[in-house]
Amino acid sequence: MDSLAVWFANTLGQYVSREVVIFIISMIPILELRGGLIAAKLLNVSITTAIPLCIIGNIIPIPFILLFIKQIFKWLKKINFCKNIIEKLEARAMSKSDSIKRYEFWGLVLFVGIPLPGTGAWTGSLIAALLEIDFKKAILAELLGIMIATVIMSVVSYGLLGVLLA
């Protein structure tokens, strides 16, 4: 993830400010807030500026995914080229859904909050939508998860990474 965050930071950084780079990275699936905070540290953006940008960037896609992803997937499955891709994406997301199925709210909180590969707000939102978890419950769980991920990644990016890069 570090190298992907660095690539986006270097590529986008030629055209927009460091803050916009961080915001955009935080909205991208896979990178999300985790990549945004790593990029923020590498771009020498203060933690007090980076955290709100990353949180807002990570939150923006959530309601759209929860509300519209099932309809978008249904429409895309009608296109032969996309059908297999969408089915694989759904299967991959559902393969990670055991803890969310079992513990629903707290499972979703931890799934979004613990920064492991394949977890985060995008995948959490997709799973919540596919499992038809109540919209308000899913939003609240994801917000709590993002707060947990923010604390963990702030320590990693600005604490541990800051010490290693200093």
pLDDT of residue 161: 53
The band of 136, judged by pLDDT with boundaries at 50, 70 and 90, is very high
The pTM of this model reads 0.85
Query: The dihedral of CA 141, 147, 150, 151: what is its sign?
Result: negative
> Which residue spans within the chain are E strands per DSSP?
none
Cα(143)–Cα(52) distance, rounded to whole angstroms? 13
Torsion of CA 154, 155, 159, 160, to 10 degrees: -120
Structure token digits, residue 92: 């991959």
The answer to whether 95 and 131 have CB atoms below 8 angstroms apart is no
pLDDT of residue 166: 46
Residue with tokens 């896609």: 61
Comparison of pLDDT for 122 and 10, the residue scoring more: 122
Cα(82)–Cα(79) distance, rounded to whole angstroms? 5
Q: What is the DSSP letter of 17?
A: -
Please determine, for residue 142, whether its predicted confidence score (pLDDT) is greater than 90: yes
Side chain identity at residue 57, one-letter code? G
